[in-house]
Structure 1
Amino acid sequence: MLHTNTNNTWAPDYSVHPGEVLEEHLEARDLSQAAFARLCGITPKQVSEIINGKNPITSDTALIFEKVLGVSASIWSGIDADWQLFQAKEKEKHAAQHCADWIKIFPSDFLKTLKRSVGKDAIAVRNAILSFFGVGSEAAYESRWTGRCAAYRHSPTFTSQDAALSVWLRLGEIEAEKLEMPPFSKAKLKAAISEIRPLTLLSQAEYMPRIKSILHECGVAFIVIPGIKGAPVSGATHKAANGRFIIQASLRHKTNDHFWFTLFHEIGHLMLHGDKIFIEGNSASPSDANQQYERQADEFSTKILLNDKPLDVFPQTRENILAFSSRLGIHPGIIVGMLQHRKSLAWHKFSDLRLKMAEDSL
């Protein structure tokens, strides 16, 4: 453990605290901390803090110890450097373990994509996640996204579903932040509804760019981000960090009736509820306030699509559905979807009128 001063060396085979080494030398010489401090010309407090690990052995202190104890300054500096390196490695090890635990909450496909760029090192992956979200720390991530994802659930606990949802929302933010847009105008959005509604009769390839263009003029970014595993979400209304309003759709159900109802539902949130964040999906237990907001947005969407006409006033035959939708000027698949949702029509009946949507045509 401890060699004599004749060879002036000390070679530990493991990392040891410098204060322990100093204390051993003092005990070997029967020196108290106070007596040693007087010999060194430093205060007893300085000696105590070195022994207790509150202060390192500086180069100046190492030179003093060399004169008093006969152990070279380079050895004292080496002991301290070894200890500092050991501490740094321990800190890094604990940080890596913490990072490994933290990154597990994110979707596996998202992590695989990051690892292809930065490798599998947990700290590198953590840093890549923070860069993706545009934040500097895990605390900053949670501060921004815990509240936003709370719109999707009732539980105060941040879950892997929340993490997946935050990835989906952030993908929408990133796309929206690329756009040059005018300020949001509620008046323009209200006027645009009558321009958007007839687009239900067009093909997906025709109406998608028109929706984006019309909403863009209203100061709203319309972003379609296909759903990701772990986030069963249909759509959302939210704001990017730069204040840009976003209507985001996932095409989760991949049918035109769901798409159009969700779109007008989200427009309803912007018209009725301002800049609050709303996320549509499998919210386990939304708050009373959110339930009210969601009902209002549902009613708004229904009113726009049906043009204030009652839905259940005719026998549900194919001919009647086609005639009713023609009078309303909307696609018949929307009527079928609404009737099925109300359980006025069996789920399998006339489902061929509901058009499938393709993600690869976005």
Structure 2
Amino acid sequence: MGNKNEFNPDYIVPPGETLEELLEHYDMTQAELAERTGRTPKLINEIIKGKASLTPETGLQLERVFGVEAEFWNNLESNYRELLARKKSEEQLAEQKDFLRKFPVKFMTNNGWIKAEKDKLKQLEELLSFFGVASFDAWKEVWEELLNQPEAAFRKTKSFSASTESIAVWLRKGEIEARGIQCAPYNEKKFKESLKEIKQLSDEDPEIFVPKLTKACAKAGVAVVFVPETPTSRVSGATTWSGKRPIIILSFRYKSNDHLWFTFFHEAGHILKHSKKITFLEFKDNVDEFEEEANHFASDILIPPKDYQGFIKKRDFSEQAITTFAEEVKIAPGVVVGRLQHDGYIPYPTKLNYLKKSYKWFN
């Protein structure tokens, strides 16, 4: 017994099984091992049966008795307990397979957000890893509480059907993308100043304005990310905070520059005027005091009220008048058209709609 033996099994077994094999090899009884280790016969028996854990102290004692490294016993015990925990976790997940149907898994795998797995348990694990939670009970604690809290964090009318799970996926992807943006510490003054520069990007194509927009906001400490709309989420934009950093998420849901830029400045209004504790989600028919205030902020920054009233008084809503006015206030003509339609000065079906730029999703 003077030479220490090396045990390197390529499979995981309960420590007690290996211990029992050694007892047979050395023709030693459990009672004798108890005497040699200073442990009780009951404890030795429970270790062999897997009822008691093999502690590091016991591992050292077995090393002295059998010449087998304590590290081996510790690893055997650790691996065994991990295996039991995994089996228990798999059993719990197996009872939650139906959760997969609630999430836009195919959309997520098609877009590379998670790996596609044939095995449902592995697919569930992929989904949990995406959300950064250990179980669906934990998911409910984090996401359902967030999206359904009474402080208007998830404001949608009762008539407006949207999937909570799909919205959660969209928000989570926005959070993940925002982590990759290097931002300065949030500075409210710099952010306000950056909005004047950003406004002038409204007539550009996404390939031009997206990098400029994200860079300008990052300098002021705001992360802006574009995440494609997830199925049945029906959300066009969101504002949330990650610690001290505000995040704006945009979806290109309505695909025209008047909607996109109004949504961006609307979200900027939430950052500048409202609570950091609330996640604001934008839907077509959101109406409450927070949304109204953000709407006014966006309208006024895109087209200054004094200039707009002067333009309205002239009652000339021709193409030439609109494009000239847009140049004066440094905004895209399509944004002016959208504002006039919203306020009822021109109809939605109009030949002037061609002044709006349509966006396609880009990578």
* TM-score, normalised by the number of residues in structure 1: 0.67
Partner of 2:213: 211
Partner of 2:201: 199
Larger CA deviation: 227-236 vs 99-108: 99-108
Note if contact 2:114-2:127 (Cα within 8 Å) is conserved in structure 1: no
Pairing 1:148–2:146 present: yes
Q: How does 1:35-184 map to 2 (within 5 A)?
A: 95-110=92-107, 112-113=109-110, 117=115, 119-150=117-148, 151-153=153-155, 161-184=163-186
Alpha-carbon distance in 2 for matches of 1:108, 1:342: 40
2:236 partner SS: strand
Note if contact 1:257-1:334 (Cα within 8 Å) is conserved in structure 2: yes
Structure 1 position 173, deviation (Å): 0.8
How much identity, in percent, do the aligned residues show? Answer: 30
Structure 1 position 181, deviation (Å): 1.8
1:231 partner SS: coil
Partner of 2:273: 272
What letter is aligned with 1:262? T
Alpha-carbon distance in 1 for matches of 2:131, 2:89: 23
What letter is aligned with 2:329? L
Pairing 1:307–2:304 present: yes
What letter is aligned with 1:192? S
Alpha-carbon distance in 1 for matches of 2:281, 2:298: 15
What letter is aligned with 1:143? E
Structure 1 position 250, deviation (Å): 0.4
Instruction: Summarize the Cα distance change of 1:137–1:269 in structure 2 as closer, same or farther, 3 Å threshold.
Output: same
Instruction: Summarize the Cα distance change of 1:103–1:355 in structure 2 as closer, same or farther, 3 Å threshold.
Output: same
Aligned residues: 272
Note if contact 2:114-2:126 (Cα within 8 Å) is conserved in structure 1: no
1:200 partner SS: coil
Pairing 1:237–2:218 present: no
Q: How does 1:331-350 map to 2 (within 5 A)?
A: 331-349=332-350, 350=352
Q: How does 1:323-338 map to 2 (within 5 A)?
A: 323-338=324-339
CA radius of gyration, larger in: 1
Q: Unaligned stretches of 5+ in structure 2?
A: 1-44, 50-84
Instruction: Summarize the Cα distance change of 1:137–1:214 in structure 2 as closer, same or farther, 3 Å threshold.
Output: same
Q: Could you say what the CA RMSD is over the residues aligned between the two structures, in angstroms?
A: 3.1
Q: Unaligned stretches of 5+ in structure 1?
A: 1-56, 62-87
Alpha-carbon distance in 1 for matches of 2:134, 2:120: 16
